[in-house]
Chains A and B, each alone.
Chain A
């Protein structure tokens, strides 16, 4: 499928979600379903989906200890080992995982290889790391800030985060830095995928859909915050209603709010099933989370089955005369 076609289909898919939101805004019943039933349904799908996914991964054993080592191993005492990039113990492995999860350590290694005038040149390519990390951190900040709708009184951490995030104090209400960086990250990731021929070549519908969906969530959120204000008290009442299992449908929250809600619900419900499950999968990656100590401690394989081998006896039986002729010792004369 051509990439342009794929992008159009992804846009159409997101538009279809918008149609559902329009229905929710237009029909009272649909609105009730969206605000009273859907949240619990989505949460259930997300939780059960994630648990199902992780259990499926976890149920498959790790038969061999296969860390990818990226530093000196622990060997002789006078040789300085790299305890994080080549973990010799659990602390090192935790450190390595923390580096991957919080700092995208491996992506930081990214470099570009090119052939220039018959020479191989390595260029710095930290862009993917920088914008990728920026995107993820921003998304986390945005998600955490939303906790202000779900807690009363608002937990201090969230208030602090929001204050910090809006410290530039541009406009009223204040512009959040994380909103801007989120959009910048999304723009980078989308353009990179749509423009670079190699990345475009490997991209699937799901790759574009994820980016467009998150962009739509962000856009509707920003529109509500800065251009078409919604009744925040009503939103908070609704959110607190969800948390206390006594939701009350808002009288008229408006199309934009329904649209935002619809998009977020689709995103959350889809998380466990598509590529976005990498957020959980990374923790189980055997090349990253294992300690490199397979010669120090025996790693056990749950299904280690016997195999047919060629025994020494069979070997000697075949070659006994040759061994004797060569003056090599044999077991049986």
Chain B
């Protein structure tokens, strides 16, 4: 599915918000091409020792479920109701006020009522009532309960893979009910019977074996980073070193593999390399822990833990003092809210202290992992970087807060501080679409694949509309972010809705503006584009 096959933007935006005539329990899923993701290839399930590897397609009548699939799901629900207070509570206390409804980008973009977070949750809540509450057992549909059937399972698959776990609904819910929690558990249950998508499981399987989502082998990683060093030399005349698997480094640097693999993430990665060279940081990349992202988050809590374990293990093996993490959204959700709990305590590491400024990162005292924008903001604040923002004068920037740093950390000011010091033309999008109210790129949580393109364009529509407004008002031509998934998914979104807007990481802006010792006169930015103000 490519952009050509999906409706034109003018048609796509004609969204019908009228609910169907039939009640939601009686409206079956229509697996329309362009709105779902391919199932996981058997080899990936086998590699991860996950149940029910087989060839199947969501459009098939027979999903080749295990014979006792119902028992597996219900036992799985019971177990998780006992393990997660969030799950049990969120099954019980929703009053269906509907405040969450038009907060979901997939609902806004599709008009499908089952994309209202409340109804997406009811898909599983109705089963919870039927099998786990007295009223549901006695009164059935009247109590909002229904039997677990294959059709219900298919509905779960369709809609739990039409949720990017962005948590925007939970900002507006009066009880803080978080659809991400419900989707995460829903996906765990689906995984128990082998209903999962390849765009999540292939990166997970790759990451487990090779250390990164893309399956890049050690030599390949080195080549790519060296290639970026060549590009840096070409743009700046400065040769930066690329330390990999170096014992005795002070700091282990972990970033999403997309940063050294694909444009425009590579420009961000060049920014890191230049920065670390310029301040003389004693750091290292790792090939074993060559992935910051964690598609386990989109699979199950267990898989998240399995993949995340490498970071601490590698920090211990290399004997570093602490860990620095690159720009990535869901990676930081895992590091900030899960890593220490799952794989800590990191008592073999030291409390993070910037070797350049001496700043103690108190907020990372236990996890011992610092976000690179925190690290860089501190450098700038202490005057340790020489910056020439005019080198970004050809960029008219707006900033997209990525879901996870926004709603699972509260990382708002640090990236803006770096932007303020590296970029002269910065314009915020509408208040309702930034910071904790930021809209998802529409393709996170493993949904950023080509076959799901129509749904991505629908889900990304609210973000794109907000960008379009600042394009029209301020002539914005660049969309900044601190997320590798954004850097992969926003470019096609922009091409579709707002052509002419490129996507950039914050450290790319820093790389452009960074005045390096011994550099030649810069005539191009990191993309090799001329540094000159765009003609108005």
Our verdict on whether A and B bind, yes or no, reads yes
Check: A304 CB closer than 8 A to any chain B CB: yes
Check: B377 CB closer than 8 A to any chain A CB: yes
B219 near A69: Cβ-Cβ < 8 Å: no
Enumerate chain A residues within 8 angstroms of B374, measured Cβ to Cβ: 75-76
Report the separation of the CA atoms of residues A119 and B359 in the bound assembly, to the nearest whole angstrom.
46
B222 near A319: Cβ-Cβ < 8 Å: no
Enumerate chain B residues within 8 angstroms of A65, measured Cβ to Cβ: 337, 341
Name the CB-closest residue of A to B381.
A78
Tell me the residues in window 451-501 of chain B with beta carbons closer than 8 Å to chain A beta carbons. 461-462, 465-466, 469
Check: B408 CB closer than 8 A to any chain A CB: yes
A9 near B142: Cβ-Cβ < 8 Å: yes
Name the CB-closest residue of A to B347.
A298
How many residue pairs, one in A and one in B, have C-beta atoms under 8 Å apart?
Answer: 313
Tell me the residues in window 156-200 of chain B with beta carbons closer than 8 Å to chain A beta carbons. 167, 170-178, 181
B89 near A285: Cβ-Cβ < 8 Å: yes
B96 near A204: Cβ-Cβ < 8 Å: yes
How many whole Å from A182's CB to the nearest CB in chain B?
A: 17
User: Known contacts A107-B99, A118-B13, A323-B219; is A198 also within 8 Å of B19 by CB?
Assistant: yes
User: Known contacts A281-B93, A286-B85; is A204 also within 8 Å of B408 by CB?
Assistant: no
Tell me the residues in window 200-248 of chain A with beta carbons closer than 8 Å to chain B beta carbons. 200-207
A201 near B24: Cβ-Cβ < 8 Å: yes
How many whole Å from B95's CB to the nearest CB in chain A?
A: 5
Report the separation of the CA atoms of residues A104 and B504 in the bound assembly, to the nearest whole angstrom.
37
Choose, from B101-109, B261-269, B272-280, the stretch at the interface.
B101-109
Enumerate chain A residues within 8 angstroms of B88, measured Cβ to Cβ: 56-57, 60
Interface string of B219-256 (1 = CB under 8 A from A): 10011000000000000000000001111000000000
Name the CB-closest residue of A to B83.
A303
Enumerate chain B residues within 8 angstroms of A281, measured Cβ to Cβ: 89, 92-93, 175
Choose, from A16-24, A139-147, A270-278, the stretch at the interface.
A270-278
User: Known contacts A197-B18, A201-B19, A329-B247; is A60 also within 8 Å of B173 by CB?
Assistant: no
Enumerate chain B residues within 8 angstroms of A299, measured Cβ to Cβ: 340-341
Check: B40 CB closer than 8 A to any chain A CB: no
Choose, from A25-33, A36-44, A173-181, A306-314, the stretch at the interface.
A306-314
A115 near B13: Cβ-Cβ < 8 Å: yes
> B222's contact among A118, A276, A328, by CB below 8 Å, is which?
A328
B142 near A287: Cβ-Cβ < 8 Å: no
How many whole Å from B487's CB to the nearest CB in chain A?
A: 22
> A68's contact among B92, B94, B97, B171, by CB below 8 Å, is which?
B171
B175 near A69: Cβ-Cβ < 8 Å: no
Enumerate chain A residues within 8 angstroms of B469, measured Cβ to Cβ: 119
Check: A294 CB closer than 8 A to any chain B CB: yes
A64 near B341: Cβ-Cβ < 8 Å: yes
Check: B531 CB closer than 8 A to any chain A CB: no
How many whole Å from A42's CB to the nearest CB in chain B?
A: 18
Enumerate chain B residues within 8 angstroms of A200, measured Cβ to Cβ: 19
Choose, from B147-155, B429-437, B509-517, B521-529, the stretch at the interface.
B429-437
A72 near B119: Cβ-Cβ < 8 Å: no
Check: A132 CB closer than 8 A to any chain B CB: yes
User: Known contacts A113-B102, A204-B96; is A66 also within 8 Å of B181 by CB?
Assistant: yes
A322 near B306: Cβ-Cβ < 8 Å: no
How many whole Å from A324's CB to the nearest CB in chain B?
A: 9
Tell me the residues in window 120-156 of chain B with beta carbons closer than 8 Å to chain A beta carbons. 122, 134-135, 141-144
Check: A90 CB closer than 8 A to any chain B CB: no
Check: B28 CB closer than 8 A to any chain A CB: no
Report the separation of the CA atoms of residues A5 and B501 in the bound assembly, to the nearest whole angstrom.
51
> A107's contact among B172, B208, B211, by CB below 8 Å, is which?
B172
Enumerate chain B residues within 8 angstroms of A295, measured Cβ to Cβ: 335-336, 340, 363-367, 369
User: Known contacts A60-B83, A294-B340, A323-B219; is A85 also within 8 Å of B436 by CB?
Assistant: yes
A322 near B219: Cβ-Cβ < 8 Å: yes
Enumerate chain B residues within 8 angstroms of A310, measured Cβ to Cβ: 208-209, 306, 310
Report the separation of the CA atoms of residues A326 and B226 in the bound assembly, to the nearest whole angstrom.
12
Name the CB-closest residue of B to A209.
B142
How many whole Å from B36's CB to the nearest CB in chain A?
A: 22
Enumerate chain B residues within 8 angstroms of A286, measured Cβ to Cβ: 85-86, 89, 176
User: Known contacts A68-B167, A296-B362; is A205 also within 8 Å of B143 by CB?
Assistant: yes
A70 near B345: Cβ-Cβ < 8 Å: no
B175 near A109: Cβ-Cβ < 8 Å: no
Enumerate chain B residues within 8 angstroms of A56, measured Cβ to Cβ: 88
Report the separation of the CA atoms of residues A79 and B217 in the bound assembly, to the nearest whole angstrom.
40
How many whole Å from B459's CB to the nearest CB in chain A?
A: 13
> B135's contact among A86, A274, A309, by CB below 8 Å, is which?
A274
Check: A160 CB closer than 8 A to any chain B CB: no
Enumerate chain B residues within 8 angstroms of A275, measured Cβ to Cβ: 92-96
> A57's contact among B92, B305, B408, by CB below 8 Å, is which?
B92
Report the separation of the CA atoms of residues A293 and B411 in the bound assembly, to the nearest whole angstrom.
13
A328 near B287: Cβ-Cβ < 8 Å: yes
Check: A62 CB closer than 8 A to any chain B CB: yes
A198 near B342: Cβ-Cβ < 8 Å: no
Check: B393 CB closer than 8 A to any chain A CB: no
B103 near A113: Cβ-Cβ < 8 Å: yes
Report the separation of the CA atoms of residues A61 and B245 in the bound assembly, to the nearest whole angstrom.
38
> A278's contact among B95, B210, B287, by CB below 8 Å, is which?
B95
Check: B533 CB closer than 8 A to any chain A CB: no
A202 near B92: Cβ-Cβ < 8 Å: no
B118 near A202: Cβ-Cβ < 8 Å: yes
How many whole Å from B134's CB to the nearest CB in chain A?
A: 8
Report the separation of the CA atoms of residues A322 and B216 in the bound assembly, to the nearest whole angstrom.
12
Name the CB-closest residue of B to A69.
B410
Check: A167 CB closer than 8 A to any chain B CB: no
Report the separation of the CA atoms of residues A99 and B362 in the bound assembly, to the nearest whole angstrom.
28
- Chain A to chain B: the 4 pairs with minimum beta-carbon distance, closest first: A73-B410, A326-B219, A281-B93, A69-B410
Contacts A/B (CB < 8 Å), 11 sampled:
A63-B84, A69-B409, A70-B407, A118-B13, A205-B142, A278-B95, A308-B49, A310-B208, A315-B288, A319-B210, A326-B218
Q: Which residues of A contact B (CB under 8 A)?
A: 1-2, 9, 53, 56-66, 68-76, 78-82, 85-86, 100, 104, 106-107, 109-115, 118-120, 122, 128, 132, 196-207, 273-278, 281-282, 284-288, 292-301, 303-304, 307-312, 315-316, 318-319, 322-323, 325-329, 331
Q: Which residues of B contact A (CB under 8 A)?
A: 10, 13, 15, 17-19, 23-24, 49, 81-89, 92-99, 101-103, 108, 113, 116, 118-119, 122, 134-135, 141-144, 167, 170-178, 181, 208-211, 217-219, 222-223, 244-247, 287-288, 301-302, 305-306, 309-310, 313-314, 317, 335-338, 340-342, 344-345, 359, 361-367, 369, 374, 377-378, 381, 406-414, 417, 430, 432, 436-437, 461-462, 465-466, 469
